[in-house]
Structure 1
């Protein structure tokens, strides 16, 4: 088992960084998009040096890298008192794979908001749900990253309402979620198109995550929903609450999709 902190470690080399993409944090042999965004965030934080937490992250995915070594170029665009802005680019074999923009700052522990437009959604108790297996039933697809953390989907709630998935995420061995690992959590659920007849192929084109607070210890409550399907594209919304039912992250994603053969 590869701990998330170790699997996202970066090393400074001259003006840039290097990382080793872990084959255990993959879907069908390709590194997960949220995992790649977390690696870029580690490099951005190291380069800025003044603000330890990603407040926002927006990435475009140009070409899927393979597990193995990658290089990361970082440009600090601005360093301010309350926030810094950083651009980061992940490349492999002279091919740009992911480019991201970050706003960095200092986050507090989640507190009671002044106002929020929706309460945490109902989800069956974590202990009453089974972990999602890494081998997708009825397919040859392996989701190796599901051996590295616990994902528990409330399958009884699928379809109510349509296009929505709800459940829990937990890191192993009592490891706590932090602002960087929340970037991964925002892309850790199955695509919401799964509930609408999608065939599971859903490559991310763009992912934007807002991290709102340091989560309390314990599992994350997640709701992922499809907002709009056109002929070949879907935009999804992911909302994340901590164990105290406080919003800690939210994300939007534009992805391609295919419908299952009839």
Structure 2
């Protein structure tokens, strides 16, 4: 069973998409973004600072080609375009801004404070086959996810790796797409396929479970616009994402 770093590795332009990081048999969108980020980073700029990805076709677990196109190599940041293909299909394409998260320092201002969340031991771990989801979420065998579902369109909870691995700049890209869709408490049916995901990595997390809030900003008959915000165990904001996804009513 591969850890997250091994499961997102890219060697000589090839990734081996791990079946353990899937939802309904398809690789999770945040996991795929982390794979592309591994390919994009350089020795001078070792972390993804921002990522904007479009998802065109869901790949299958197994080998996939990852191509990197450097766009700019600056002193403090660089930019790159990365494309994941499988066979003759373009599956995911993303634009990255790369740098060193460790140089960002403490936040001088943050508009969002850590949300009120029930204590972790008061929330049940999300099962691999949640009631009403209609899909097997295999990646939940790898992570301990606990979500408070009491607020309509506003999910809050905790996330950690089952093996105790601390989160880093790459796994934060997974964290911002790990929770159930915000429509889960609004009568949504099943998972919501991602169309576009924009993420920011704002800091290297302190050890311990992540505090996550995911909420809907707008829901139409066919689309969902949702935001995910992540704080580390010390209460520091470490990641944020905005996502446009397909919404299916029950």
> Which TM-score tier does this pair reach, normalised by the shorter chain?
over 0.9
SS of the residue 1:173 aligns to: coil
How many Å separate the matches in 2 of 1:140 and 1:203?
A: 14
Aligned 8 A contact 1:168 1:219 in 2: yes
Q: Hey, which bits of structure 1, 4+ residues long, moved more than 3 A?
A: 109-112
Task: Give the Å deviation of 1:233.
Answer: 0.7
Task: Give the Å deviation of 1:94.
Answer: 1.5
TM-score normalised per structure 1? 0.92
Aligned 8 A contact 1:218 1:243 in 2: yes
SS of the residue 2:38 aligns to: helix
How many Å separate the matches in 2 of 1:117 and 1:20?
A: 39
TM-score normalised per structure 2? 0.96
How many Å separate the matches in 2 of 1:109 and 1:199?
A: 42
- Structure 2 unaligned segments of length 5 or more: list them: none
How many Å separate the matches in 1 of 2:40 and 2:50?
A: 12
SS of the residue 1:154 aligns to: strand
Change (3 A) 1:138 1:198: closer
Q: Report the aligned-residue RMSD.
A: 1.4
SS of the residue 2:101 aligns to: coil
How many Å separate the matches in 2 of 1:145 and 1:33?
A: 12
Match of 1:231 among 218, 221, 226: 221
How many Å separate the matches in 1 of 2:161 and 2:145?
A: 9
How many Å separate the matches in 2 of 1:129 and 1:23?
A: 27
Aligned 8 A contact 2:52 2:95 in 1: yes
Task: Give the Å deviation of 1:89.
Answer: 0.1
Q: How many pairs were matched up?
A: 250
- Structure 1 unaligned segments of length 5 or more: list them: none
| Partner deviation per Cα, 1:87-133 (whole Å, 9 max, x = no partner) | 00000012100000000000128864211112100111112222111
1:40 is matched with 36
Match of 2:61 among 63, 67, 73: 67
Task: Give the Å deviation of 1:173.
Answer: 2.4
